Amino acid sequence: MDSKKIRKGFSRLAAWLGINICSLIVKVIPSSCLYVFAKNIAVLAYFFAKKQRKIALGSLSIAFGKEKSALEIERIAKDCFIYMAKSAVELMFFFDKPQALRNRVQIQGKDNLDKALAAGRGVILVSAHFGNFPLLLGRLAVDGYKAGGIMKPMHDARMEKIFFKKRERFGVRTIYSQPRNECVNSSINALRNNELVFIPIDQNFGTGGVFVDFFGEKAATATGPVILAQRTKAALIPCFILRQPDDQHKIIFEAELKLEEGKDSEDVVLVNIQKLTDIIESYIRKYPAEWGWIHRRWKSKPS
C-alpha cells in the first residue's frame, strides 16, 4: 500500500472517530454550549485543515477577488468554517430530536411549495450546499412532506452509513447520484408520486453537464433539474435555508421557475440551468459565509 492510500485511510479513520466523539459530546453538553463547542472546532479546523483552507481562500478569490480585500476574503473563509461546524453539531443534536425543528426552523414562501404540489406532478427543489440544508429536508419531513434528496455517497462507507441512518431517522429519503440510471428512475418515480426531490447543482459536475457562468467563470453544472422537469412536468422551485443571528433558521421557497424556451432542446437546458445558477449566485453574494467554499467549483474547464 502506497503512502497516499495510507494517509487517506488514516484521515478517514480520524474523521469517523471525530464524528463519533463529537456525537457523544453533543449528547451530554447543555444545548446552550453547542455553538461555543462548534466555534472551537472551527478554529482548530481552520488551523489544521490546510488543504481545505487553501481551497476555500482560492475559491473566494475567484469569486470576490476583484471586489473584496484579502482580509475580507479571509474573514468569510473563517466564518464559513464556523458555519460548517455549527451545522455539524446541529445535525448531531437534531437527528435525535427531529420534532424540535418546528421551533428552530421557520418557513417563508410555503404557499409557493403547496401551490406547486397541488398540481400533482411533484416538485424539484433546486438548491445548493448552502446553509444547513439537511435541516431543510428534515423540517419538511417533520411537517409530513415526502421528501428525498439526490446525494453523492461519501468516500468512506462507515461515514456514509452513519449519515444514511440519521437521514432515515429524520424521515428523509436518500437518492444516490450513482448509478446514474437508478438515480434518474428513482427521481422520476418520486415525482410521479407527487413527492419532493431536492437537487443541489452548485458543485463541479465534470463531464456530462453544461458550462454556465458562475461568478464570472465557466462552471461545469448538472442538468438534472431541467431534464427531469421536461420529462415529468414537475415544478421547479429554488429554495434555501438561512442561518439567523440567533442561530435559528429560515427556509425560503422562491416562486416556481417556469422553463424558458430556447432554440433547441440543448439550448433550453443551458438557458434554464443558467437561470437557476444565477439564483444560487445571488444568495451566495448576499450570504457568502453560508456556502461551502472548500469545494473546487471551477475545477473542470471547457474544452
For residue range 224-262, list pLDDT tens digits in order: 999 999 999 999 999 999 999 999 999 999 999 999 988
- Tell me the average pLDDT across 115-126: 98
Q: For 51-87, what is each residue's pLDDT tens digit?
A: 999 999 999 999 999 999 999 999 999 999 999 999 9
How many CA atoms within 13 Å lie on the side-chain side of 190?
27
Between residues 25 and 130, the one the model is more confident about: 130
pLDDT higher than threshold 70 for residue 11: no
pLDDT score for 14: 55
Between residues 280 and 160, the one the model is more confident about: 280
pLDDT score for 27: 72
- Tell me the average pLDDT across 13-19: 58
In whole angstroms, give the CA distance from residue 206 to residue 120: 33
| Percentage of the residues of the chain whose pLDDT score is greater than 90 | 71
- CA distances to 2, 5, 12, 294, 299 from 53, rounded to whole Å, are 25, 22, 18, 7, 16
Q: For 265-274, what is each residue's pLDDT tens digit?
A: 889 999 999 9
Sorted by sequence, the CB contacts under 8 Å of residue 177 that are 6+ apart come out as 150, 151, 152, 153, 183
Confidence band (pLDDT; 50, 70, 90) for 33?
confident
Query: What is the set of domains in the chain, with CATH numbers?
Result: 3-290 (3.40.1130)
- Compute the mean pLDDT over every residue in the chain, rounded to the nearest whole number: 91
Reading the block at residue 4, the C-alpha cell is 497516499
pLDDT score for 217: 97
In whole angstroms, give the CA distance from residue 279 to residue 259: 14
Reading the block at residue 192, the C-alpha cell is 410521479
pLDDT score for 4: 65
pLDDT score for 108: 98
Between residues 179 and 111, the one the model is more confident about: 111
- CA distances to 61, 205, 213 from 300, rounded to whole Å, are 17, 8, 13
